[in-house]
Structure 1
């Protein structure tokens, strides 16, 4: 493959491992680089009485640069990745910040003009096992890095992935610091206490490491099972089980079953005590997809997860997680792929969720909530604008006796450009 001098310079700059000789050939030839400009408009109107602000409304431009080397030759291959992130304010103002798009001044709370970070990751590969040290974006049931705003959440730590046996996938590692999606600082971790989870933590405490381990096994093309364990030191321990089964019913018809169970307990500085069960059933019929979900929280608290991350729950959606103390929730979802009508790249999704039975404490009525989401996206399939994507996300949330009532719109323009 032809490689420009600029492309070679970028790869060399990520670690200087491309010394002359055959050992560096794969390091260069297997590398790749992508640039993703991301334009994001966010508007959230707060509808409840006594809201701290009328709305959060911001517009920003982001740039995500990803450089990935290949591996040097030999029994143990060496490589390095780089992640460059930059967020630029286009519009914000007094009383409208706090959307999660932009970094805020610690004293005034107003959005800063720009922010960013540079992350480096060293990696080693032996056989079918890979060890990464440095900047990480884990996507595991125990810890799901969040990428729902202008720039993604990142972690610093070490992650080992092994696929030595066919069908068996092993993960283990330790995270030491987190950089939230609207921040440029790496900090110690804590757990989310939003909503009515009844989770309490010792004032001023945080954790300097999160340990995780897990395995998944693909029994066949139709069945996969998994077990994952995570412990946020000083806060909680969590065991998670997952089963995914795909049942082809006929030509163009299939039923997917996704079952999840988690058991969480406290680890010193919190009162976490939760059992979470979730089930999602998805029926596909050509371009149409129908889904139905059920989720139940039991124990003295709601579901525990690292602050700022996504939660591996079937009813974790655009705004809510439906993971409050004693909450039972259900979901109905519909998707349509317009490729069936000759419009590839155009997709539509809508869903409705309702939760009740939320324990708000002695003397208070049970809490209830519902959320309605709509998502319409289009990605240009060919021509000069190929890979240009536009997405509109709309959400409405209402609750009784707790939480925020809000209407939200997000408009996202993104483009993926391969540098080599």
Structure 2
């Protein structure tokens, strides 16, 4: 499916027309908003191990994301509509450098990146009291299902999602997903489980599923303490229970200590061998503009951690390249953040971290699997003037492993967000 640049204007016009077809309501129009996000993305990934089939993946592209959100019609049940238009344009690529994930490529060799690709999505929404039902294109960011937005265009899902905030401090979610549109695709597809690295997941006759169910909630016990429980299940492949506890301890002016504890239990759903317990903990001490974080993650069971392929996940050691979610893997991380606002440079930030994992089950007679990764992230967002909200981010990563690819990676991302109304 190919799209021309004018599809975004057509999509926005159709969305507004759908909204105006609802019962007349000033709030429907007055509370609506439209935002255009532009993202320029360059990515270079060098494969450093001997015998690599491809020496590097290197591409450059321009992306546009048009988001429209209406208000709600009047009455006990308010109706509204959201719309999203996504367009990616190739600036530089070649068949021997594809595979970055920022462009859609042909399925047959030679795998050339397409000149442009896009997606248009509509979401109907109903609101009653403090509960909202959405039907159509969705982008959940929940422990059980997290859309991925780490490339040119975000991943989207199709389904139904009911969220409720009827009780103060309590948020509840219930939903069903039947299709996914990956970040470098314009096609809705059935879902499967990610099985990279040494997860050692074995599927039965059904390799994909058209039903992902999720349910759960988060409760804010006090301003400092929150906990959550979520269930996620990919029909016929796996089911999962996730628990999270977050505590923020104030330590005086400009100081705090945050604890983030996570546990997930994954098991098969009749069509796989999935069996995994994942424990993770992050502890962050903040002093002024400084942030010091230590993390630990421990996996056990017959397989690695399970989640929907292409999405993000709830592991504490999910970083730029790896998530350290292989079978029996133990990993730790040390991280440092700095906000330069204290030096009179608001909008400038730095993050650097190092992670190391070991004890991965590589199979009978083989030594344990090991991986390490180093990340550095420098970002700046213009705070005022005609270029306000213009952002620049440079991301660098290096990873070495005896269970996967040795990589050196750089990403340069320029972004700008413009409110249309």
Give the structure-1-normalised TM-score. 0.96
| Unaligned ranges ≥5, structure 2 | 1-8
CA contact (8 A) 1:14 1:82 kept: no
1:255 partnered with 2:254: no
- Superposed displacement of residue 14, structure 1: 3.5
- Superposed displacement of residue 268, structure 1: 1.9
Q: Identify the residue that residue 208 of structure 2 maps to in structure 1.
A: 206
- Superposed displacement of residue 357, structure 1: 0.4
Which residue, out of 238, 241, 262, partners 2:240?
Answer: 238
- Superposed displacement of residue 334, structure 1: 0.3
| CA separation of 1:249 and 1:112: change in aligned 2, threshold 3 A | same
Query: What count of residue pairs does the alignment treat as equivalent?
Result: 411
Q: Identify the residue that residue 38 of structure 2 maps to in structure 1.
A: 37
| Aligned partner of residue 340 in structure 1, secondary structure | helix
- Superposed displacement of residue 228, structure 1: 0.3
Which residue, out of 287, 290, 295, partners 1:288?
Answer: 290
Q: Identify the residue that residue 134 of structure 2 maps to in structure 1.
A: 132
CA contact (8 A) 2:238 2:306 kept: yes
- Superposed displacement of residue 94, structure 1: 2.0
Which 4+ stretches in 1 moved above 6 angstroms?
none
CA contact (8 A) 2:131 2:162 kept: yes
Aligned-pair Cα RMSD in Å: 1.3
Which residue, out of 331, 334, 337, partners 1:332?
Answer: 334
Q: Identify the residue that residue 369 of structure 1 maps to in structure 2.
A: 371
CA contact (8 A) 1:64 1:86 kept: yes
| Aligned partner of residue 26 in structure 2, secondary structure | helix
Q: Deviations over 1:197-225 (max 9, x none)?
A: 11111356210110000011000100001
1:190 partnered with 2:189: no
Name the stretch that deviates more: 201-210 or 125-134.
201-210
- Superposed displacement of residue 24, structure 1: 1.8
Matches within 5 A, 1:373-384: 373-384=375-386
Which residue, out of 396, 399, 419, partners 1:397?
Answer: 399
- Superposed displacement of residue 315, structure 1: 0.3
Q: Deviations over 1:12-59 (max 9, x none)?
A: 7444332597x4211100000000111000000000112120000000
User: Partners in 2 of 1:369 and 1:20 — Cα distance?
Assistant: 55
User: Partners in 1 of 2:326 and 2:22 — Cα distance?
Assistant: 58
| Aligned partner of residue 325 in structure 1, secondary structure | coil
User: Partners in 1 of 2:52 and 2:17 — Cα distance?
Assistant: 49
Q: Identify the residue that residue 278 of structure 2 maps to in structure 1.
A: 276
CA contact (8 A) 1:327 1:355 kept: yes
CA contact (8 A) 1:14 1:81 kept: no
| CA separation of 1:11 and 1:70: change in aligned 2, threshold 3 A | farther
User: Partners in 1 of 2:45 and 2:276 — Cα distance?
Assistant: 31
- Superposed displacement of residue 107, structure 1: 1.2
User: Partners in 1 of 2:313 and 2:180 — Cα distance?
Assistant: 16
User: Partners in 2 of 1:28 and 1:40 — Cα distance?
Assistant: 34
| Unaligned ranges ≥5, structure 1 | 1-6
CA contact (8 A) 2:206 2:271 kept: no
CA contact (8 A) 1:274 1:302 kept: yes
| Aligned partner of residue 25 in structure 2, secondary structure | helix
| CA separation of 1:346 and 1:50: change in aligned 2, threshold 3 A | same
User: Partners in 2 of 1:281 and 1:167 — Cα distance?
Assistant: 24
| Aligned partner of residue 29 in structure 2, secondary structure | helix
User: Partners in 2 of 1:114 and 1:12 — Cα distance?
Assistant: 22
Q: Deviations over 1:287-339 (max 9, x none)?
A: 00000000000000000000000010110000000010000000000000000
Q: Identify the residue that residue 102 of structure 1 maps to in structure 2.
A: 103
| Aligned partner of residue 26 in structure 1, secondary structure | helix
Give the structure-2-normalised TM-score. 0.96
| Aligned partner of residue 97 in structure 2, secondary structure | coil
| CA separation of 1:11 and 1:340: change in aligned 2, threshold 3 A | farther
